[in-house]
Amino acid sequence: MKAFLLDRYGKNERLRLADVPEPELREDEVLIQVHATAVNLLDSKLRSGEFKLILPYRVPFVLGHDVAGVVVRTGTRVRQFKVGDEVYARPDDFRIGTFAELVAVREASAAIKPRNITMEEAASIPLVGLTAWQALVEKAQLKKGQKVFIQAGSGGVGTFAIQLARHLGATVATTTGTGNVALVKSLGADVVIDYRKEEFEDQLRGYDVVLNSQDGKTLAKSLGVLKPGGSLISISGPPDPRFAEDIQAPWLVRLVTRILSSGTRRQARRLNVIYSFLFMKANGNQLRQIAALIESGAIRPVIDKVFPFESTNDALAYVESGRAKGKVVIKVR
């Protein structure tokens, strides 16, 4: 099969299109013929080596964390899926590799794709959908009537999280550039701050939850918009000791995460708010619940561009440019 390989870590490394063996199918996995995949900043960060400490992939390997496609083979223990099923998934860490014609995904990490959207739209959902779900539903337990600040509302996670928070009955504030104000309002944002014209920390007060996806400076300012007892969940770091425990990291990684997050955790304690780091996990059950929301019309995919498979490097560069509204998708088949 054809796949895009990362041969060595580096910020400017290009992926190499190559013929590689089909993935080895384990007994609890399904082999998916990839119809579409999507690009995430996580792919860029893995390529540059930013996450080598917590995700030590051995090169060469295939990037890609989103897939929509058709089941072409099933492992001996698979019961939920059969050959011919249209599915979507975020493969587990160390089993990624959707920038390819085939990928093996654990049965527990896949779900039947929403029936009312295309393969390209379905491929745009898994990573950002699971990130938003695990942040707002699982960690924050966001409730009707609460207030949530979702940063970068026109990005991949932002466009999904705004719709999910609105569905949950929360009041939603977000930041975006001038050209994307109408987009985020159409998704359900109640308070929109144009970051080119005003500072969010001057406008927002007494929020229950912040979903942080930006840099450390923005994180520090975001802690101040929370009410006492409020919760900031960061998907961009720094990793905290709880995360290191959850992934059963070696002692050195645990020490590093403790040091990296010490200043943020100290500031959170001083403000009487809660800080936590989220690195989303594959979860087929949550994808089934997300599919139901998409089929009901509560959430719609937001796609900026669709690139052909041979232009995977161009798709990655476009995501890194920071100009994308919603998701960038690669049509494989």
> Alpha-carbon distance 119 to 226, whole Å?
39
Give the CA count within 13 Å in the CB-facing half-sphere of 153. Answer: 33
- Shared domain check, 15 and 113: yes
Domain contains 285:
no
Q: What is the pLDDT of residue 201?
A: 97
Domain contains 282:
no
> Alpha-carbon distance 249 to 208, whole Å?
30
Three-state DSSP class for residue 224: coil
Q: What is the pLDDT of residue 54?
A: 87
- Shared domain check, 95 and 25: yes
**Is 192 within 8 Å of 129 (Cβ atoms)?**
no
Residue 247 binned pLDDT confidence (cut-offs 50, 70, 90): confident
Q: What is the pLDDT of residue 53?
A: 85
Tokens encoding 29: 């996995």
Domain contains 293:
no
- Shared domain check, 193 and 215: yes
Domain contains 290:
no
Closest to 175 (Cα-Cα) out of 145, 215, 141:
215
- CATH number of the domain within which 202 lies: 3.40.50.720
- Shared domain check, 141 and 105: no
Closest to 61 (Cα-Cα) out of 72, 74, 49:
49
**Is 130 within 8 Å of 285 (Cβ atoms)?**
no
Q: What is the pLDDT of residue 95?
A: 97
Residue 211 binned pLDDT confidence (cut-offs 50, 70, 90): very high
Question: What mean pLDDT do residues 84-104 have?
Answer: 98
Domain contains 296:
no
Domain boundary among 242, 262, 277: 277
Question: What mean pLDDT do residues 235-252 have?
Answer: 91
**Is 254 within 8 Å of 103 (Cβ atoms)?**
no
Domain housing 272: 128-277
- Shared domain check, 166 and 210: yes
- CATH number of the domain within which 9 lies: 3.90.180.10
**Is 302 within 8 Å of 38 (Cβ atoms)?**
no
> Alpha-carbon distance 120 to 68, whole Å?
7
- Shared domain check, 77 and 60: yes
- Shared domain check, 187 and 314: no
Its sign, for the CA torsion 43, 179, 163, 304, is negative
Question: What mean pLDDT do residues 264-281 have?
Answer: 97
Please state, in angstroms and as integers, the Cα–Cα distance from residue 85 to each residue in 80, 101, 121, 150, following that order. Answer: 10, 16, 17, 35
- Shared domain check, 144 and 117: no
Which value, in Å, is the radius of gyration of the alpha carbons in the chain?
A: 19
- Shared domain check, 313 and 265: no
Question: What mean pLDDT do residues 189-211 have?
Answer: 97
Give the CA count within 13 Å in the CB-facing half-sphere of 240. Answer: 16
- The values of phi and psi at residue 302, to 5°, are -120, 115
- Shared domain check, 64 and 186: no
Per-chain mean pLDDT for the chain: 97
Lowest-confidence range among 70-79, 246-255, 265-274, 313-322?
A: 246-255
Domain contains 287:
no
Domain contains 164:
yes
Calculate what percentage of the chain has a pLDDT beyond 70.
100
Kindly give the interhelix angle for 216-223 and 251-271, rounded to the nearest 10 degrees: 40
- The values of phi and psi at residue 111, to 5°, are -150, 160
Domain contains 143:
yes
Can you point out the beta strands (E) in 161-249? 171-176, 191-194, 207-212, 226-234
- Shared domain check, 169 and 118: no
**Is 161 within 8 Å of 209 (Cβ atoms)?**
no
**Strand-by-strand arrangement of the 61-62 sheet:** 16-19, 2-6, 61-62
Number of domains comprising the chain: 2
Q: What is the pLDDT of residue 239?
A: 93
- Shared domain check, 272 and 253: yes
Say if pTM beats, i.e. exceeds, 0.95. yes
Closest to 153 (Cα-Cα) out of 67, 212, 215, 70:
212
